Amino acid sequence: MTNLSPNGLQILRARYLHKTETPDELFQRVAKHLVAVEDKDHELWFDLFYGVMRKLEFLPNSPTLMNAGLPNGQLSACFVLPVEDNLEAIFTTLKNAALIHNSGGGTGYNFSKLRPKDDIITSSEGSSAGAIAFMKIYDTATEYVKQAGKRRGANMGILNVTHSDIEAFVTSKSDGVSLQNFNISVGITNAFIYAVEKNKNWQLVNPRTKKVSKTIQAKKLWNLIVEQAQKTGEPGLIFLDTINQDNRLPKQGEIYCTNPCGEVPLFDFESCNLGSINLTKMVVHDGKKNDIDWKKLEKTISIAIRFLDNVISSNYYLLPNIKHITMANRKIGLGVMGWAELLIILGIPYASEKAVELAEVLMKFIQEKSHSASGNLAQIRGCFPSWNESTYAPNTLLRNATCNSIAPTGSISVIADTSYSIEPLYALAYKRTGILDDKTQIEINSIFLEKMKSLGLWTKEIQDEVIVNGSIQNIKHIPKEIKKIFETSLEIPAKYHLLHQKVFQKYTDNAVSKTINLASNTSAKEISEIYNTAWKYGLKGITVYRNGSRANQILQPCGVNLKDKCS
């Protein structure tokens, strides 16, 4: 199989391999589990599924790698659970979340049905603790229930912008200590954006009584949101109206929530299975230059769509409700990783119109071929059971209600030794902390290193500069065109972060998880402009992160702590 990087091997041994299992045996285990649902040609499909994983051309989400082949193996990464406004329902959901986290999945919740803090509880003549208090209970439970016994669970907490507790929710992580197992986002509506633009008042509503509890200036609430995002990176925004305009199953109701990183909007109890194609493996050299290998990409898409559809059929479902809606809609999310490195291989700067144009062509191709593969499966296996209720009926046959999603690809990018998702390179050399308990991984980008050596530019001076600062922009004798290609995340204007997310979202059924990385001196005003632009672009969600705004930052330039060398 393809040689694994030391960091990839380390993470596989820590989280994924069973006892004496080798990486090759892991991929065989997963392929064997998935071909069991095939009616025929078992050897053919085993070879194809095993082959794309073994060559690191495609990898599924972590629970599939961890749990395939185990008794009661739960293979899905993403879940949304309802939070109803009564004590029994709140703690039933907490129990279900614990089971999901223990199996390797992450959970999203919208807490907007909960009555606000200090609201009356008629049955006891007491008062409500409010949404944030219950979020803290969920957060504490998450701390002690590890995903698949390997890591703490991940949560998304959403509160709608109309909720009485929204101001307290927006500032709930400002102390840097609370809700550390949650990503939090405000559920934004078009009406709220219009109220901000026109400087109108905004009504907050008690969800129990449906009556207005408070009237505030919409712009004041907006400013509070962006100031907190500037301070801590949260809350992000979830654009609920945009999500529901694109809802393939409107007859099943509105969607109010997403998975923990925002790339999959889901109904209550729905789950989704994700996987990503490694774009650095989709390259062909014609003797003069590198180009995308479109034929190989199409073949890999076809294999990956069938792979993910098989995950749904071979999965163990922890709850009957989850099984029912997941099997009815059969949502999958095929995405990509290695986009930044693909651009480098092709000699295209991330911060360029050429890169944005290629992103649109690429993702359009991926979506079209994904739908084609799902359509072919529908001819063989039938459409997803709720197809008649979908916007695809009566003319477009599909096996899956959604086919594409751009996930963060955190762990699987490390295994595949490539860049995260559609993100630019964070730095040319950096420390990765917090993904393996207290272990730190050090990394110099291998494509950068190879390029520097091929140009005869890898000197002790450059090595030292890159190790400390993660950048080559201040090294005078490196050609400008090389500097441009190797611009890192914080050196790329927010404009291009947003444009990349926009064009990938245009051809993505679900949503795009992307972080707009910002320099430490970024102002709240700039973040306000980014958030507003995201809404205008039709994004389904937006997250920013101002460098250094959290104490426990997963990716850090090596110079943050020079005792940990990157060489």
Q: Please tell me the predicted confidence (pLDDT) of residue 327.
A: 98
**Is the Cα dihedral 163, 165, 166, 167 positive or negative?**
positive
**What amino acid is encoded at 234 in this protein?**
E
- Specify whether the backbone of 264 is left (phi greater than 0), alpha (psi in -120 to 50) or beta: beta
**Of 33, 55, 29, 54, residue with least CA distance to 42:** 33
Q: Please tell me the predicted confidence (pLDDT) of residue 548.
A: 86
Q: Please tell me the predicted confidence (pLDDT) of residue 567.
A: 45
64 and 15 in contact (C-beta within 8 Å)? no
Q: Please tell me the predicted confidence (pLDDT) of residue 505.
A: 98
Report how far residue 541's alpha carbon sits from residue 56's, in angstroms, rounded to the nearest whole number. Answer: 29
Q: Please tell me the predicted confidence (pLDDT) of residue 153.
A: 78
Report how far residue 383's alpha carbon sits from residue 394's, in angstroms, rounded to the nearest whole number. Answer: 11
121: helix, strand or coil: strand
Print the SS3 string covering 327-382: HHHCCEEEEEECHHHHHHHHCCCCCCHHHHHHHHHHHHHHHHHHHHHHHHHHHHHC
Segments in 178-330 forming alpha helices (H): 190-197, 218-232, 240-245, 294-314, 320-329
Residues with catalytic annotation? 259, 261, 263
Report how far residue 79's alpha carbon sits from residue 77's, in angstroms, rounded to the nearest whole number. Answer: 7
Report how far residue 406's alpha carbon sits from residue 336's, in angstroms, rounded to the nearest whole number. Answer: 6
Cis amide prior to 394 (ω within 30 degrees) = yes
**What amino acid is encoded at 331 in this protein?**
K
Report how far residue 178's alpha carbon sits from residue 507's, in angstroms, rounded to the nearest whole number. Answer: 36
- 330: its two tokens: 């059969």
Q: Please tell me the predicted confidence (pLDDT) of residue 418.
A: 96
Q: Please tell me the predicted confidence (pLDDT) of residue 561.
A: 39
393: helix, strand or coil: coil
Q: Please tell me the predicted confidence (pLDDT) of residue 563.
A: 41
Report how far residue 142's alpha carbon sits from residue 152's, in angstroms, rounded to the nearest whole number. Answer: 6
The 8-class DSSP code of residue 209 comes to T
Q: Please tell me the predicted confidence (pLDDT) of residue 88.
A: 96
Beta strand 290-292 with 283-285: parallel, antiparallel or unpaired? antiparallel
- 94: its two tokens: 């907490």
333 and 402 in contact (C-beta within 8 Å)? yes
Mean pLDDT (10-residue bins), the chain, 567 residues: 88 93 98 97 98 98 96 95 96 97 95 95 82 96 76 89 98 95 97 98 97 98 98 97 98 98 98 97 92 98 98 98 98 98 97 98 98 98 98 97 97 96 93 60 86 92 89 93 96 97 98 96 97 98 92 56 44
- 418: its two tokens: 């490539």
- The residues near 218 (Cβ < 8 Å, ≥ 6 apart) are 192, 195, 196, 199, 200, 201, 202
The pTM of this model reads 0.94
Q: Please tell me the predicted confidence (pLDDT) of residue 194.
A: 98
Cα torsion for 59, 61, 62, 65, to the nearest 10°?
A: -50
**What amino acid is encoded at 203 in this protein?**
Q
428: helix, strand or coil: coil
Report how far residue 317's alpha carbon sits from residue 324's, in angstroms, rounded to the nearest whole number. Answer: 9
**Of 98, 504, 493, 179, residue with least CA distance to 335:** 504
